[in-house]
Amino acid sequence: MGIVNVTPDSFFAGSRVNAPAQISRRAERMAAEGADMVDIGACSTRPGAEIVGADEEWRRLEAGIAAVRRAVGTDIPVSVDTFRADVARRAVEAGADIINDISGGNLDSGMFAAVAELKVPYILMHMRGTPATMQTLTDYDGNIAACVARELSGPLRRLEEAGVADIIVDPGFGFAKTLRQNWELARDMESLEILNRPMLVGVSRKSMLVKLLNISADEALPATTALNFAMLERGAAILRVHDVAEARQATAMYAAISS
């Protein structure tokens, strides 16, 4: 899953594209490098981020979806990174195929019903609170991976009861987790297999790498690739990445060594 951020403030500056021509070129390059899908984000949710209003989020997304579709046609599914049910509806009407919700339904009570009605795949991510408060909500009772699995099981059940059939789970690296907890979660990722759903992992250039190695996000591609390989070993089915070519190499090596 290639990341296209149509925002001015996402944590990795290299992922930001705003002009339609830039967005199209980014999507076209990702497709050429082997992306299986493209994820468009229009509202930064990095720790402490100021959340833009729904109208502004949709203005950015509408242009982003159109630009990506011009570049890749209908060959590659388009995912939209939003926690708002109304934005999700508009996005699917405009051609999006997947809803990627960082809040796991916690920031909009209408999201699960909307996804059920839209009949699209849904990515259920683990987070507590909001981007502004999540790093104050890192108290977990016991093993972090087991806690994440337990906290995802409730919304997963509600989604199933609502009739959502295609659900992907995301443990939410960097969201309501300390540096140590992120690495403990990475170590014990296989605990999430109890949810019996495909796992998406997004660790690309994140602070868990930057802080551990005392580097910048610009310097974190080698570490990202190494951790992506480790996540494949621990059951990841989808890698959400800024750098598609390198992630594709990691998946090819994993396939070769696992066969």
pLDDT tens-digit series, residues 183-212: 999 999 999 999 999 999 999 999 999 999
pLDDT digit string (tens) for 87-146?
A: 999 999 999 999 999 999 999 999 999 999 999 999 999 999 988 899 999 999 999 999
Please indicate whether residue 206 is annotated as part of the active site.
yes
User: Regarding the domain delimited by 2-258, which CATH topology (the fold level of the hierarchy) does it fall under?
Assistant: TIM Barrel (3.20.20)
pLDDT at 63: 92
**Confidence class for position 15, pLDDT limits 50, 70, 90:** low
Indicate which residue of 84, 128, 177, 240 is catalytic.
Answer: 240
What is the pLDDT confidence band of residue 16, given thresholds at 50, 70 and 90? Answer: low
Give the pLDDT of residue 9: 57
- The first and second tokens of residue 25, run together, are 């070129």
| Range in 6-10, 165-169, 217-221, 225-229 with the lowest mean pLDDT | 6-10
The predicted structure's pLDDT at residue 52: 84
Domain map of the chain by residue range?
2-258
| Active-site residue, 177 included | no
SS3 for the chain is CEEEECCCCCCCHHHECCCHHHHHHHHHHHHHHCCCCEEEECCCCCCCCCCCCHHHHHHHHHHHHHHHHHHHCCCCCEEEECCCHHHHHHHHHCCCCEEEECCCCCCCCCHHHHHHHHCCCEEEECCCCCCCCHHHCCCCCCCHHHHHHHHHHHHHHHHHHHCCCCEEEECCCCCCCCHHHHHHHHHCHHHHHHHCCCEEECCCCCHHHHHHHCCCHHHCHHHHHHHHHHHHHCCEEEECECCHHHHHHHHHHHHHHHC
Among the options 158, 206, 234, 248, which is catalytic?
206
Average pLDDT over residues 68-87: 95
Tell me: the pLDDT tens digits for 42-62?
Answer: 887 777 667 889 999 999 999
- pLDDT tens sequence across 224-239: 999 999 999 999 999 9
Whether 10 shows a pLDDT value over 80: the answer reads no
Name the pTM for this structure: 0.94
Mean pLDDT of 141-167: 96
